[in-house]
Amino acid sequence: MKPFLIILMLMSTSNLFAQDGKATTIKKTFNRQTSVSLDIQADPAIIWALLTNASDFSRWNSTVISIEGNIAKGEKIKLKSTLDPERTFKLKVKEFEAEKKLVWGDGKGKREYTLQEKEGGITRFFMTEKIGGLMFPLYAGFIPPFDEAFEQFAADLKREAELIQKGKQ
């Protein structure tokens, strides 16, 4: 019975992250979670450098207008997104494990980036954002869907990281 439960848990966990760059969103009464993942033919160090260089973000990422601040644990950043260009998101970097995990967020949600090194020079990129809280049902209808932006973010990151990797070979 135990092996069956473990397999079932692994299957349900893997469904939280859409594969091959296709985003999925799980909506609940008090929160919403959007996830995307894909394989990138590049070293984790290259991807990490792209994810942590605030001033360069908007050059390679078409979903971000700007990021101000230092992307490091405990630091505060200001992010402007194409999803809501009039709004500046004031976020705090909550977790920072070099070349592995980056989490930033505010009181309403958090975004997590995870890198997983695989064989053959491939790095699996995961991104998930969970937003919500007790008041979420009151404003959920005003928040645009993230799926298309997540897919574009992942595609932009893949394109730039693989371009840099090819330049190093």
Residue 9 domain-assigned (yes or no): no
Instruction: Name residue 122's amino acid.
Output: I
Range of the domain at 65: 16-168
Q: Summarize pLDDT for 59-68 with one digit per residue, the tens.
A: 999 999 999 9
Residue 127 reports pLDDT greater than 90: yes
Residue 8 domain-assigned (yes or no): no
Residues 14, 27: Cα–Cα separation, whole Å: 17
Q: Summarize pLDDT for 25-40 with one digit per residue, the tens.
A: 999 999 999 999 999 9
Copy the structure tokens of residue 90.
């004031």
Residue 2 reports pLDDT greater than 70: no
The structure tokens 């919500």 sit at 132
**Contact between 87 and 78 (Cβ < 8 Å):** no
Residues 53, 131: Cα–Cα separation, whole Å: 24
Evaluate if pTM is beyond 0.75: yes
CATH number at residue 87: 3.30.530.20
Q: What is the number of other CB atoms lying within 10 angstroms of the CB of residue 54?
A: 19
Residue 68 domain-assigned (yes or no): yes
Helix (DSSP H) and strand (DSSP E) numbers for the chain = 5, 8
| Domains: count for the chain | 1
Residue 2 domain-assigned (yes or no): no
**What's phi and psi for 140, nearest 5 deg?**
-55, -35
- Look at residue 168 in the predicted model and tell me its pLDDT: 85
Residue 63 domain-assigned (yes or no): yes
- Look at residue 9 in the predicted model and tell me its pLDDT: 41
Residues 74, 59: Cα–Cα separation, whole Å: 25
Residue 10 domain-assigned (yes or no): no
DSSP secondary structure letter of residue 85: T
